[in-house]
């Protein structure tokens, strides 16, 4: 499987790409003026080797593949597969009730993370597949951004409607139990006052 690897300057001023131009050219990269990056078509082994090269020098890299590009129809596909219940959705991350018009569709494994992961590119999974999408409130979507870890785990678990519903019912039962226990604890005090 072939991938397009882009290498550009790092975030800091001392991680400039200029000193490595000759080495990149000798490695088979060509310069793209429009993106200010060096690009090369590589296989899995070449990608691994050149990503290690870029990491060691603090350079920014991006592994482009058709499966790791955001498309424009992923939200419509997700809404078609997950119709709202009474005009509402539950956020996959925090469980908050969100109106259908305010729901945002989030990539569980973000597009940016997928584009820099050789493992994801090698798996052949599409970043816009329904298995990688979940509904989220705008607050959670902006906080998650390109994070991984527990955000990905919560997204994968609660992208299923049944799991979101079970979490909602659990929280509802917990709130009812807390109210019941609070009232039973305060009952003697309320009887004396009233």
Specify the CATH number for the domain of residue 36: 3.30.1370
Q: Do both 30 and 87 map to the same domain? A: no
pLDDT at 6: 81
pLDDT at 144: 87
- Alpha-carbon distance 171 to 165, whole Å? 10
Which of 117, 108, 110 lies closest to 156 in space, CA to CA?
108
123 with 169: CB under 8 angstroms?
no
What is the residue-averaged pLDDT of the chain? 83
152 with 131: CB under 8 angstroms?
no
pLDDT at 1: 59
pLDDT at 14: 52
Residues 6+ apart with CB under 8 A from 51: 5, 61, 63, 118
Q: Do both 28 and 80 map to the same domain? A: no
Specify the CATH number for the domain of residue 109: 1.10.30
pLDDT at 56: 85
100 with 55: CB under 8 angstroms?
no
Q: Which range among 19-23, 40-44, 86-90, 107-111 has the greatest average pLDDT?
A: 86-90
Average pLDDT for 170-191: 89
pTM, two decimals, is 0.61
Q: In this structure, is residue 145 part of a structural domain?
A: yes
Q: In this structure, is residue 192 part of a structural domain?
A: no
Q: Which residues on adjacent β-strands are paired with residue 39?
A: 6, 30
Note down the domain range covering 13. 3-64
pLDDT at 177 over 90: yes
Q: Do both 54 and 100 map to the same domain? A: no
Q: In this structure, is residue 36 part of a structural domain?
A: yes
pLDDT at 67: 61
The 10s digit of each residue's pLDDT in 9-29 is: 866 645 678 888 888 888 888
The 10s digit of each residue's pLDDT in 143-163 is: 988 888 889 889 889 889 899
């Amino acid at each position: 499987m072939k991938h397009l690897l882009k290498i550009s300057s790092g975030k800091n001023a001392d991680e400039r790409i200029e000193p490595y131009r000759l080495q990149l050219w000798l490695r088979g990269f060509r310069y793209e003026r429009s993106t200010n990056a060096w690009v090369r078509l590589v296989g899995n082994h070449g990608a691994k080797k050149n990503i290690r090269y870029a990491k060691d020098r603090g350079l920014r890299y991006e592994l482009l593949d058709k499966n790791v590009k955001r498309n424009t129809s992923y939200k419509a596909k997700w809404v078609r597969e997950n119709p709202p219940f009474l005009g509402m959705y539950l956020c996959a991350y925090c469980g908050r009730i969100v109106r259908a018009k305010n729901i945002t569709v989030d990539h569980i494994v973000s597009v940016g993370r997928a584009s820099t992961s050789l493992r994801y590119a090698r798996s052949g999974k599409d970043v816009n597949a329904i298995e990688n999408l979940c509904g989220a409130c705008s607050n959670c979507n902006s906080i998650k951004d390109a994070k991984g870890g527990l955000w990905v785990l919560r997204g994968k678990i609660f992208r299923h409607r049944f799991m979101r519903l079970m979490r909602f019912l659990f929280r509802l039962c917990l709130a009812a139990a807390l109210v019941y226990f609070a009232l039973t604890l305060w009952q003697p005090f309320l009887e004396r006052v009233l």
